[in-house]
Each structure stands twice: as C-alpha cells, then as structure tokens.
Amino acid sequence: MKVCVDYDKCTGLGLCESLAPEFFEVQDDGSLELLQTEGAESQRAELEEAVRACPTEALSLEG
C-alpha cells in the first residue's frame, strides 16, 4: 500500500511519528519527512492507526 501525505494540511504535530517511526519523521523545522512511501500488508494496522491519529487528516493510504 502507498502512504500519502498532504503537506498543505500537515502541521508537524508528530503523532504519526510516534505511532509509525519507520515511516514518518518530524524535522527540527516542524516539517514532516516521509521515510518510506510503500508499506507491507503486515504494517497495515500500524499505518492505519497513524492515519486515524492525524488531527489534520493529512495522511492517507492507497491500496
């Protein structure tokens, strides 16, 4: 599945990073870096939790 970020909505709060640190990293300037764009099926639950936790709805999954 593909991990998608709407950078216009992202505020860099970091909930995604705390839930899926191998995919998301908030930089010192508050911007979000997507470390991996593709997730395995075995990582779906972790990624879905990160997507649900995003207060600005900047994250989504495709596939």
Predicted local confidence at residue 47, as pLDDT:
98
Q: pLDDT category, 58, cuts 50, 70, 90?
A: very high
**Residue 15 — very low, low, confident or very high, per pLDDT cuts 50/70/90?**
very high
Q: Structural domains in the chain?
A: 2-62 (3.30.70.20)
Percent of the chain surpassing pLDDT 90:
100
pLDDT in tens, 28-56: 999 999 999 999 999 999 999 999 999 99
Cβ distance 53 to 17 under 8 Å? no
Q: What is the rounded distance in angstroms from the CA atom of residue 25 to the CA atom of residue 48?
A: 17
Continuous segment of H or E residues that includes residue 60: strand 59-62
The pTM assigned to this predicted structure is 0.93
